Chains A and B, each alone.
Chain A
Amino acid sequence: MQYDKDSYLFYMIMHELKDIVGEENVSVAKSDKVAYSVDYYWVSELWHDRGSKRTEPDFIVFPKNAEEISKIMILANEYKIPVTAWGGGGGSQGGALPVCNGIIVDMKRLNKVFDIDFESMTVEVETGMIVEHLEWELAKHDVSTMHFPASIYCSTVGGFIAHRGTGVLSTKYGKMEDMVISMEVVLPSGEIIKTLSVPKTASGIDLNWFFIGSEGVLGIITKVKLIIHKVPEVRKFQAFLFKDLESGLETGRRIMHEGLNPCIIRLYDEAETKSLIKRVLGINKEGIYLVYAFDGKEKIVDLQHEYAKKIALELHGEDLGTEMGEEWWLHRYKFFFPPYVFSLPQAFGTCDTVATYKDILKIYNGMKKTVETNYPQARFIGHFSHWFMWGCMLYARFIIDNPPEDPGEALHLYNKIWDDVLRSVLSNNGVLNEHHGIGIKIGRLMKEQYKNSFELLKNLKKQLDPNNIMNPGKMGLGF
């Protein structure tokens, strides 16, 4: 529905929203409209930087529970107004941007911890809670989700589930999606549903997986039960330097396949070792930097380290000692703070992907070649940071120090690089993304990735959200 911002219809809708969430929990302030028109997506930042016209929400609402969200959904269907859930605004894919205006549902008032079950080691929490705040609560009892991404300071539980976030300890403890036991979801119709009390059943399709990674297009996750862990007795680190990427990758693969169960393996390519590792950690050496860690009972950890070290030495790694690994741990988030993080005027894109061990190096080389051959103005760096039994994740980035001043021109160049890089990834059996999501940023490539099965996703969306009110314009599912 189109409505004039000065029309009485606009004020009618605002009145109804205030009736649902309370007078003080609806904002149409210009200050809020600016703040919700930019997230961590480079293009939204670029638009703001250049003073270009912003795409803003019409209303920002702050519900306190699923029931209020349900009423907002019913209202949005009545008026056919887009609804976009906003967690912490830390997404890099523009997933929470109100690209079709409408209502922003800020989730941060849903920030209660309901229950910590020490017998089953689970925590039930509302999804608007900033994960660092959840960790503060859990730390009082020496337990943790073990979900430690750099965005832990600014992103919410729901944001991580909706975009399938990954933390630095994922290799042992899993991605956010692996931590979910059950959830409460408000469907686009306003209906509030609960998934089964436990996963891993043979009781039909696991409904959790309808919503994990759904980026707010199929509903809003309001409450979730997550797995927690005891804080381990020790966590020990070791760093190595390799002459080539192949040896580093082989070291990581063998550590995984020997069943050593590391909590961290991170392998930085030569360009990133030379730039970021040197700048943040002060390691002034040429080569491929690898850090790995094990945690748990000290005796077991020592043994794991003994075996892992043997593998790294066999592959001719130069032992940098434990200290150079601990340094990485201490400064693991520093890479994402100014002045260390890439920022405007630079153009930068994080093209994280995941593939089997058989394909991952091919993918890395393909991405690097695509950037360096076609875009001489761009640099390419990457690291491999989340490891599975069958493959690993590549966190590759391109950086242009001086993109065009004109925002439209800069966007075109930016998207061209993204298209070329991701098509190269897809051609080598990779996927569009591993842990940032799709959002508005790369939705246009979803059809190329899914091919004819994309229709399934589109039909699912249509079935659940016939009026397309939920986060339209995202994941390539249409406006």
Chain B
Amino acid sequence: MELEKNYPILKACRFCPMCKHLCSSGNLTMHESDYPRGRGLIMFSIYRGEPANEDYINALYNCFMCGCCLAGCEGNFNLPELIKSAREDIVNLGLEPKAVKELKNNLLSNGNIYGVTPDKSFTLQNKKYAINDADVLYIAGPSVNYNHFEIAEAAVRFFDKTKIKFSIISDEPDCGKALSLLGYRSEAKAAAKRFYEKVSELKVKKLVSSDPMVVDCLLNDFKEFGFDINSLVSIMHFSEFAEVVAKESDLSFKKFSKKITIADSEFLCKKNNRCESARNIIKNIAGENFAELFRNRKEAYATGEAAFYQNGSTFRDGAALGKKICNDALKLDIKTIITMSGIAKENILAAAKGRFEVLDIAEFIFANFRFTL
């Protein structure tokens, strides 16, 4: 049982309600089973030998794996790790919901959860960017590569304008993050291996991605799988790379006069504490028009980057989170929301209904930097 390996977390979380105020899923549905304590109770029931019924399984897949609970935990008990091990047990027993199996099949056959075939990906349609002697490797990440070409296009144009020699991988591999989060550990490891081998073949020094889940995967999951990608390349989110380039090249900015905010990425900001670069860029450009959506990082909830499946539906709660973010933005009279991932943009855009401009950080940067190189 994978759950057993994380028993100290289970023991700590099963009766503890102290992160209730921070839980993105519980505070969305209000169901006690969608809070960490509820999940702990369910997992302990399973640990005690109670059969994992459909409701229990659904509740364990309802978690957004955002790590917001960790931000308030004095004992640093990593609940998402515990949930991941419970999902692995579910998968090992072949009990995962049908929709989750479909997501896995999409990931294995197409490299993305949406079921879009690789020939429709940005990278395959833009093979011309795949070169051999680049310093920088751009990884769009599944949500951008299959669903948000505009983000990849903005990134590519930024590289061009700043004369950065970059490459893409035309058949961009999946790093395995979504597989891992869904409980498919061996499949995730195999995907990570393929990704690692592809990157190893290239002579790049930096890997820049528009997808926080890719960044998190390379920084953390690869280490767990035994692939030392950090010694091959330095890993950055696009916003971090752009900040460095802007400083080194002394780029100036256009004036941005609308009230603007940022919806932080849970996989970049919450999980890896890498929240500053995008914020610095926006503040530099927008000045006093920048407003924080939350008073502090602890209060920020998920954008739904890993809200894959909830009670039989796929991506439903991601859209609900987008709606919640829009409501908070409305209170602050925000006009532009900057997102850090394709999924976050999608979730917020669905609820924005023309009331806000929703831009990925790459789009915002490309539109507002003055490229004088």
Residues of A at under 8 Å CB distance from B?
Answer: 27, 29-32, 34-36, 38, 40, 45, 48-49, 51, 60, 62, 86, 88-90, 106, 108-109, 130, 132-133, 136, 139-140, 151-154, 333-334, 336-341, 343-344
Contact = CB atoms under 8 A, between A and B. Distances in A.
A89 to B, nearest CB: 6
Contact of A31 (B11, B17, B42, B74): B42
What 9 A-B pairs are tightest by C-beta distance, nearest first?
A154-B17, A35-B32, A35-B38, A337-B74, A338-B12, A31-B59, A31-B33, A154-B20, A108-B30
A390 B32 CA distance: 40
B19 A38 contact: no
Contacts of B33: 29, 31-32, 34-35
B18 A333 contact: yes
Contact of B50 (A27, A38, A45, A51): A51
Interface string B54-81: 0110110000000000001111010000
Given A34-B38, A35-B38, A340 B32 contact: no
Nearest to A25: B30
Given A45-B15, A153-B18, A34 B74 contact: no
B53 interface: yes
B295 interface: yes
A132 B12 contact: no
A48 B44 contact: yes
A90 B15 contact: no
Interface centre among A31, A108, A151, A344 (most CB of B within 10 A): A31
Contacts of B35: 35
B45 interface: yes
Interface of B: 11-22, 27, 30-33, 35, 37-38, 41-42, 44-45, 48-50, 53, 55-56, 58-59, 72-75, 77, 295, 299
Given A136-B299, A337-B18, 6 more contacts: A29-B59, A38-B15, A60-B31, A133-B21, A153-B22, A343-B15
25 contacts: A29-B59, A30-B55, A31-B31, A31-B33, A34-B33, A34-B41, A35-B31, A48-B45, A51-B45, A51-B48, A62-B30, A86-B32, A89-B32, A90-B17, A106-B31, A109-B30, A133-B27, A152-B21, A153-B18, A153-B19, A153-B20, A153-B72, A337-B18, A340-B74, A340-B75
Contacts of B17: 40, 88-90, 151, 153-154
A124 B20 CA distance: 23
B30 A136 contact: no
A36 B32 contact: yes
A27 B37 contact: no
Nearest to B16: A338
A40 B15 contact: yes
Contacts of B299: 136
A339 B75 contact: yes
Nearest to B53: A30
Contacts of A337: 16, 18, 73-75
Interface centre among A60, A140, A337 (most CB of B within 10 A): A337
Contacts of A86: 32
Contacts of A151: 17
A90 B19 CA distance: 11
Contacts of A31: 31, 33, 38, 42, 55-56, 58-59
A463 B97 CA distance: 50
Contacts of A27: 31
B243 to A, nearest CB: 29
B41 A35 contact: yes
Contacts of A339: 12, 75
Given A40-B17, A89-B37, A34 B77 contact: no
Nearest to A131: B21
Nearest to A335: B74
A444 to B, nearest CB: 24
B22 to A, nearest CB: 8
Given A30-B56, A109-B30, A35 B19 contact: no
Contacts of A34: 33, 38, 41-42, 45, 56
Interface centre among A45, A62, A338 (most CB of B within 10 A): A338
A106 B55 contact: no
Nearest to A331: B74
A381 B208 CA distance: 55
A193 B368 CA distance: 57
Contacts of A88: 17, 20
Interface centre among B15, B35, B44, B45 (most CB of A within 10 A): B15
Contacts of A343: 11-12, 15
Nearest to A132: B21
B45 to A, nearest CB: 6
Nearest to A44: B15
A6 to B, nearest CB: 16
B295 A139 contact: yes
A35 B20 CA distance: 13
A173 B50 CA distance: 47
A38 B44 CA distance: 12
A106 B27 CA distance: 13
A338 B41 contact: no
Interface centre among A40, A106, A153 (most CB of B within 10 A): A153
B74 A333 contact: yes
Nearest to A152: B21
Contacts of A32: 31-33, 38, 55
A406 to B, nearest CB: 16
A427 B104 CA distance: 66
B47 to A, nearest CB: 9
B15 A154 contact: no
Contacts of B42: 31, 34-35
Contacts of B48: 51
A40 B14 CA distance: 11
A106 B34 CA distance: 13
B30 A106 contact: yes
Contacts of B50: 51
Nearest to B49: A51
Contacts of A132: 21
Nearest to B20: A154
A59 B50 CA distance: 21
Contacts of B74: 333-334, 337, 340
Contacts of B72: 153
Contacts of A338: 11-13, 16, 75, 77
A202 B30 CA distance: 41
